[in-house]
Amino acid sequence: MEDTVKPGLRFSLLFEAEGRNESGYRTDITVHRRARQDESFFLPCDEGKVVGGEGTAPWPLCYFASGLTGCLSTHLRSFAKQLDIPLSKFSLTVKCSWEARQSGALPYKATPISFVVDIVLEGGASDRDKMRLIEAASQGCFVEQSLKPGLVVHRLKVGDGWVSV
């Protein structure tokens, strides 16, 4: 695995999660980043009490939403530098929506509806460069590129409104 990114190269990433459930919805999860030197994080999950969990840890979908948001954020920062686009502070809001449909007594089936990403970029770049940056970050984002095509919508704050990218 490469720990640095050089032009023309390919590199691989491997993240391995180990989950253990003893009872109920609480699942102890440790995630390892497999590389020359492994790094590990304890990221347990639970469901809230409203659906029968114990509320001892974040919902799984909170982790998913943080992962998508963080991966896009990382690529905005990294690629602004690579593309020489000025970027100071920025913020992004990601709305993730799903639907579950249940027929008869069978368990429900899940359907993703959309992941809407609203982005505010500060630092004085032109709107054209901001859009170019968002497009590049979208293509480089490991989470977004793992999702079904068409689900993620990006919007850039321009003046008082939002422009689809």
- Looking at residues 102 to 141 of the shown chain, list those that interact with its own copies (rule: CB under 8 A): 102-113, 115, 136, 139-141
Instruction: Give dist(CA 108, CA 2) in Å, integer.
Output: 41
CA dist., res. 96 & res. 98, Å (int): 7
The pattern of x and - marking residues 22 through 61 that bind its own copies according to CB under 8 A reads xxxx-x-x-x-x-xxx-x-x-x-x-xx-xx---x--xxxx
According to the binding rule CB under 8 A, does residue 91 interact with its own copies? yes
What single-letter amino acid sits at 86?
Answer: P
From the list 54, 86, 98, 163, which residue makes contact with its own copies (rule: CB under 8 A)?
Answer: 98
d(CA 96, CA 56) in angstroms, rounded, equals: 22
Q: Closest approach of Cβ 39 to its own copies, in Å?
A: 6
Please state the closest distance from residue 48 (CB atom) to its own copies, in A: 6
CB nearer to its own copies: pick between 122 and 158? 122
Minimum distance from residue 156 beta carbon to its own copies (Å): 15
Pick between residue 93 and residue 126 the one whose CB is nearest to its own copies: 93
Residues in the interface with its own copies (CB under 8 A) total 102
Q: Are strands 90-101 and 39-42 parallel, antiparallel or unpaired?
A: unpaired
**Single-letter amino acid code for the residue at 26:** R
Burial tier of 115 (Cβ tally within 10 Å: 0-12, 13-18, 19+): buried
CA dihedral 70, 19, 151, 135 (to 10 degrees): 30
- Residue 86 touching its own copies (CB under 8 A): no
